[in-house]
């Protein structure tokens, strides 16, 4: 495949189209762009009447953008009469009224006639005049029909390739019954009503928890409006799975650091101490739901040092894609861990309690026993000189 939308592996359109006749074209670039426009819409037969700069023309090849098969099959003629003598239906394109008593068609009506004539075995042609002044009266007189475009009458002149493209588009549209080259793929079946109802019930339950559906007298109207949003979407099963995951992730707050926590640094440090003390005490509370809830709050409310270091670990090329934040390794949760490099990073906050120090020491020993390297980083170093911290971590990874 080469180019934007050009696929050489696909067969070309096998259609009998009209002959394109360029009368005394002046610029090779325009001939090449006409060939490109023809290639876009399956036209292959190009005839040139006395091209000003001769033929072949290197400028035409350069501007054809790969339509070499059309340029290689160009037919040359010394007169318009010779170029059109085999045409059973000939159209002359012009923006000017030539005061000749012959039918005038728009591009769509002309394309319809071309399709009908070609289907009956006739040879159709479309003449295009010179860039500077178009077709002469005697040249238009050879045509059966005149084609003109619905354009601004005060600025009606089209570029030669634009005119060829418009006619090619209208012909191809009718010849292919307006078929598009591709459609939206059906990657997942449409969601059932049951699946939509299940998702909507879950969404409403979460909205009730945050008291979104208020005041009470507007609840029913709000629910109808919400449901209509999803029914208008005509979602697929995969859409419903994704939306359900989004709602649950927002509700649980499991993924990544919050943008703005409800805890400040001192509160987070005290919460760490409480978790360490409970973990050290053991017992059923050490693995219970209350501790998991406190740990989740801590993960959702990182300190300034955690947030700053995580931002650099995600974006710095030396570390990007390696580290995860607050991820369990066995029963332990380091601040940052790289499973691929087997490195854990622990932030040491000022004035930590003995319980936190003991908890970190136990975690460090447990990780090192399983071949993890543990880097202890002072939180104050992160906020004061992040570059030095990153250089130290780079050395740890390179060790």
pLDDT digits (tens, 9 = 90+) for 330-359: 777 888 999 888 999 998 888 777 878 888
What architecture (CATH level 2) is domain 193-252?
Orthogonal Bundle (1.10)
Residue listed under structure tokens 């071949």: 371
Q: Average pLDDT over the chain, rounded to whole?
A: 83
By DSSP bridging, strand 343-348 and strand 336-338 are: antiparallel
Nearest CA to 29 out of 77, 71, 63, 74 is that of 63
What pLDDT is recorded for position 205?
Answer: 86
Please tell us whether the domain made up of 303-398 is placed in CATH 3.40.50.2000.
no
Nearest CA to 47 out of 15, 24, 14, 29 is that of 24
What pLDDT is recorded for position 202?
Answer: 85
Whole-model pTM: value is 0.50
Nearest CA to 341 out of 274, 396, 275, 279 is that of 396
What pLDDT is recorded for position 285?
Answer: 46
| pLDDT per position as a tens digit, 18-51 | 999 999 999 999 999 999 999 999 899 999 999 9
The low-confidence residues of the chain, meaning pLDDT below 50, are 1-2, 254-261, 284-289
Q: How far is CA 388 from CA 289, 309, 345, 391, 392, in A?
A: 39, 12, 15, 5, 6
Each domain of the chain, given as residue ranges in start order, spans: 19-175, 193-252, 303-398
Contact partners, residue 243, CB within 8 Å, separation at least 6: 199, 230, 235
> What CATH code is assigned to 19-175?
3.40.1280.10
Residue pair 362/277 in contact by the 8 Å Cβ criterion: no
What pLDDT is recorded for position 385?
Answer: 93
By DSSP bridging, strand 343-348 and strand 19-23 are: unpaired
């Amino acid at each position: 495949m080469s180019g934007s939308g050009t696929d050489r592996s696909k067969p070309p359109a096998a259609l009998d189209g009209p002959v394109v006749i360029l009368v005394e074209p002046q610029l090779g670039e325009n001939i090449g762009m006409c060939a490109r426009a023809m290639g876009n819409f399956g036209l292959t037969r190009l005839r040139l009447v006395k091209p000003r700069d001769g033929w072949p023309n290197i400028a035409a090849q350069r501007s054809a953008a790969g339509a070499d098969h059309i340029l290689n099959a160009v037919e040359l003629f010394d007169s318009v009469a010779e170029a059109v003598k085999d045409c059973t239906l000939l159209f002359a394109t012009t923006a000017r009224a030539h005061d000749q008593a012959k039918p005038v068609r728009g591009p769509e009506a002309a394309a319809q006639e071309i399709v009908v004539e070609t289907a009956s075995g006739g040879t159709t042609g479309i003449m295009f005049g010179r860039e500077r002044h178009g077709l002469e009266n005697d040249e238009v007189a050879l045509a059966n029909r005149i084609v003109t475009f619905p354009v601004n009458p005060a600025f009606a002149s089209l570029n030669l390739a634009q005119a060829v493209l418009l006619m090619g588009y209208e012909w191809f549209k009718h010849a292919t019954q307006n078929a598009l080259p591709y459609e939206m793929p059906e990657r997942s079946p449409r969601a059932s009503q049951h699946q939509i109802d299940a998702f909507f019930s879950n969404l409403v339950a979460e909205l009730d928890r945050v008291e979104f559906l208020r005041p009470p007298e507007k609840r029913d109207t709000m629910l109808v409006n919400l449901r209509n949003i999803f029914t208008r979407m005509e979602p697929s099963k995969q859409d419903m799975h994704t939306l359900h995951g989004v709602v649950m992730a927002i509700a649980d707050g499991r993924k990544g650091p919050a943008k703005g926590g409800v805890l400040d640094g001192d509160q987070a440090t005290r919460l760490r101490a409480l978790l360490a003390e409970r973990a050290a005490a053991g017992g059923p509370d050490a693995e219970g739901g209350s501790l998991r809830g406190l740990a989740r709050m801590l993960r959702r409310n990182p300190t300034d040092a955690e947030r700053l270091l995580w931002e650099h670990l995600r974006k710095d090329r030396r570390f990007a894609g390696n580290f995860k934040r607050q991820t369990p390794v066995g029963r332990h949760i380091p601040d940052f861990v790289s499973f691929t490099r087997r490195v854990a990073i622990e932030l040491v906050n000022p004035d930590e309690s003995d319980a936190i120090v003991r908890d970190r020491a136990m975690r460090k020993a447990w990780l090192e026993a399983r071949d993890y390297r543990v880097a202890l980083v002072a939180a104050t170093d992160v906020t004061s000189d992040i570059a030095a911290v990153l250089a130290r971590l780079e050395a740890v990874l390179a060790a």
